[in-house]
Amino acid sequence: MAEVMEIRESSIADPGPLGLAAFALTTFILSMSNAQLVPAALGALFVPVALFYGGLAQVLAGMWEFKKNNTFGAVAFTTYGSFWLGLGTLVILETVKILNFGASAPAAVGLYLIGFTIFNTYMWIGTFRINNALVAVFTFLEIAFILLVLAEFGFISSVPGGIFGLITAACAWYASAAAILNPLYGRVVLPIGPRGVSVMKESPKEHKKFNA
């Protein structure tokens, strides 16, 4: 017998496309540097993007997802917004010599990434109940995290992690675009591949039913 889980949402706009776009752009900027596709001098470009778009905008998207009663979206966007805020702040604090890890600086970043890799792992499992677009985002992000951890601890270069970061950004942009274009056109313009979850909207309050 099928289980029915009901989620009642408020009528605010969907913050998902904003959160995904913010994550995609910030990941793209940093990954271009990690993949060594741009001059090293451009590496710091990600800092203002991380603070305002990847950080602030994504945290706001997470707060609006709480309002919409979307636990997964709220936790994902708030956490990754905070991830970018933390990483950007770390770079600033190191630059102005408030923080000085010395020779252990790569290990400090590696430890930071390990923590978020653990978080991403169980969020990745959660995407199996949502759609294939998010499965792709979190799968490639998981691989990118692991490769970047190995790079920070000196086992490999940052290039492989940067390449998978670029793939992650492309997938996130795709998911964002789908969430914008599909409702606007009233049909599937960009398929996202729902994974066993049917969504039925009722009334202006957007009453959704998820059949497991």
- 184: tokens are 């606007």
CA atoms of 134 and 124, how far apart (whole Å): 8
Residue with tokens 């923590």: 115
Chain centre distance of CA 173: 10
Secondary structure in 3-state letters for 129-175:
CCEHHHHHHHHHHHHHHHHHHHHHCCCCCCHHHHHHHHHHHHHHHHH
Paired strand residues for 208? 7
Query: What's the pLDDT at 11?
Result: 79
Query: What's the pLDDT at 206?
Result: 41
Query: What's the pLDDT at 4?
Result: 47
Give the strand pairing for 207-211 and 4-8.
antiparallel
Query: What's the pLDDT at 9?
Result: 52
Distances in whole angstroms, Cα of residue 142 to Cα of each of 120, 139, 153, 165: 6, 5, 17, 9
Query: What's the pLDDT at 1?
Result: 46
Task: Tell me the helices (H) and strands (E) count for the chain, helix number first.
Answer: 7, 2
Query: What's the pLDDT at 196?
Result: 54
User: For the chain, where are the E strands, in sequence order?
Assistant: 4-8, 207-211
Query: What's the pLDDT at 10?
Result: 58
Print pLDDT tens along the chain (212 aa): 445 445 455 579 999 999 999 999 999 999 999 999 999 989 899 999 999 999 999 999 999 999 999 999 999 999 999 999 999 999 999 999 999 999 999 999 999 999 999 999 999 999 999 999 999 999 999 999 999 999 999 999 999 999 999 999 999 999 999 999 999 999 999 999 987 554 444 444 443 333 33
Are 152 and 107 spatial neighbours (Cβ–Cβ below 8 Å)? yes
Backbone angles phi, psi at 202, to 5 degrees: -135, 135
State the pTM of this model.
0.87
CA atoms of 103 and 211, how far apart (whole Å): 53
